[in-house]
Amino acid sequence: MKLASKKAKVGFFSLSCCEGCVLAVLDLEEKLLQAFKQIEIVESRLLMEKVKPSALRLDIAFVEGSVVSKHDLNKLQYIREKSDFLVALGACATIAGIPGIRNALPPGLKEKIKRQAIKPIKEKVFPLTAFVKVDYLLQGCSINEQEFLDFLNKFLHGAKPRLQEVPVCFECKLRENACLLLKGEACLGPVTYAGCDALCPSQNVQCIGCRGFTNDANFESLDALFKEIGLSRKERYNLFTYFNQLPEQLKHLKGDR
């Protein structure tokens, strides 16, 4: 994976989503211009009219959005085929995020949606990992620009970036915030991957899990804690399924809406 001298060919793709993540990348502004010295954007519908002929193969593809239709799926598979390295960008692409709320709708509403849809859609919304091999995940809604830059920098040097598997509380403590749980407010920090610099708790707002649940989450314990704090079953269900699919361990929260 040595890129060294050649410019890396980069593509940005959006499946169904708000496109905030690619916009967040654009917000790197000067730093992005600097990175442009090392990369060549060869495909981006938001930025240019025509795909560059050199885009037949990509060194790295950034894909945001989730797969909601056959069209999205075809596009994703096409991107995977022509890219050496595929990065899922943002909550929609990594954990199905907000669009994934649809998956848990009661059957009646689901039917309604199906009936309403003009173009064929999939019954459920899926993150990219459900269909293709994803080489790296940049989590968050929206992504953290600094994390993007760090990743890109590592990648351009030929390093294999590793996911840092720590919970939000880790970074929250480093920022010396007063813990919301201790104040009696619900927070998903203990079960959510960090990397955001504990952005929400640092602004006195609960973590809502936009970076996905950790592989080491103790849902039962946190749920018990929320109950103690005074959250109703429905509120707890709401919170745990804000961005994420309801974990197996919390099946008991499910109920009629």
Partner 1 sequence: MNYVLSKEDLAPFLAQLSKRFQVIVPAKNDSGIVTFQEFSGQEVCLETERLSSPKKFFRPAKEKIFSFAKKKEGYEVKPVFDKTKRVIFGIRPCDTHALQALDELFIRYYGLDQFYSSRRKNTLLIALQCTKACENGFCQSMGTSQAVGADIVFTERGDEFFVRPETEAGRAILDRKLFKQTGDAEPSSKISCKVSLETHNLAENIYRGFESPVWKQEAERCLSCTSCTQVCPTCYCYTTDDEFEFGSGSKSSRFRFLDSCQLKRFTTVAGNHMFRASRSSRLRQFVLHKFSYYQENHGMQLCVGCGRCISVCPTKISLVEIANSIQKQVLEGAK
Partner 2 sequence: MITPEKPELAEVLEVKQETSDTKTFTVRFENPKRQKKFFFVPGKFMMVTIFGFGEIPLSISSSPYKTGFMSFTVVNVGNVTNAMHSLKKGDQLGLRGPFGNGFPMQRFRKKNILFVCGGCGIAPLRSAIYAVREKKEEFGKVELMFGCKNPQSILFSQEMDQWGKQGISVQTTVDKPSPKWAGNIGVVTSLFKNSVLSPENTVALLCGPPVMIHFALIELRKKGFKDRQMFASLERMMQCGVGYCSHCNIGNRYACIDGPIFNAAELKELPVKEE
Partner 3 sequence: MHKTGCFSIKEITKVEGHANLNVELEDGVVKKCELEIYEGQRFFEEMVIGRHFSQIPLIVSRICGLCNVSHLNTAMEAVEKAFSVPVSGQTTILREIATNGEFIKSHALHLFFLALPDYLGRESVLDFNKEEHKYVHQGLDLKKAGTDIVRLLGGRIYQTISIRPGGFTLIPDRKKIDKLLPLLEKHRKTAVDAVKLFASFESQLPFERKTDYLGLVREDYSLVDGKLKFLSGKEIEEEDLLKHVEEFVAPYSNARQTRFEKKAFRVGSLARVNLNRDALEPAAKDLIKELGLRFPNDKIVHNNTCQAIENLHLFDRTIRLLTGLKTEKEPVKKIIPKEATGIGVTEAPRGTLYHHYNFDEKGFVKKANIIVPTNQNNNTIEQDLKEFIPTLLDLPQEKANREIEKLSRAYDPCISCATNFLKVKWKKS
Ligand X SMILES: Cc1cc2nc3c(=O)[nH]c(=O)nc-3n(C[C@H](O)[C@H](O)[C@H](O)COP(=O)(O)OP(=O)(O)OC[C@H]3O[C@@H](n4cnc5c(N)ncnc54)[C@H](O)[C@@H]3O)c2cc1C
- Binding positions for partner 3, rule: CB under 8 A: 14-24, 26-27, 29-30, 33, 41, 45-50, 68-69, 71-72, 97-99, 101-102, 105-106, 109, 112-113, 115-119, 121, 141-142, 199-200, 202-205, 208, 210, 232, 234-235, 238, 242, 257
Nearest to 12 by CA among 56, 44, 47: 44
> Of these, 6, 57, 160, 254, which contacts partner 2 (CB under 8 A)?
160
Q: Are 44 and 12 in contact (CB under 8 A)?
A: yes
Residue 172 makes contact with ligand SF4 by CB under 6 A: yes
3-class SS shares of the chain: helix, strand, coil, % to 5: 40, 15, 45
> Of these, 38, 177, 214, 245, which contacts ligand SF4 (CB under 6 A)?
177
Nearest to 145 by CA among 20, 34, 240: 20
Site string for ligand X, 152-181 (x = CB under 6 A): --------x-x-------------------
Residue 180 makes contact with ligand SF4 by CB under 6 A: yes
Q: Are 68 and 76 in contact (CB under 8 A)?
A: no
Interacting span for ligand SF4 (CB under 6 A) from 4-12, 66-74, 168-176, 236-244: 168-176
DSSP 3-state assignment of 205? coil
Q: Is the CB of 38 or the CB of 135 nearer to partner 3?
A: 38
Q: Is the CB of 89 or the CB of 186 nearer to ligand SF4?
A: 186
Q: Are 51 and 43 in contact (CB under 8 A)?
A: yes
Q: Are 8 and 156 in contact (CB under 8 A)?
A: yes
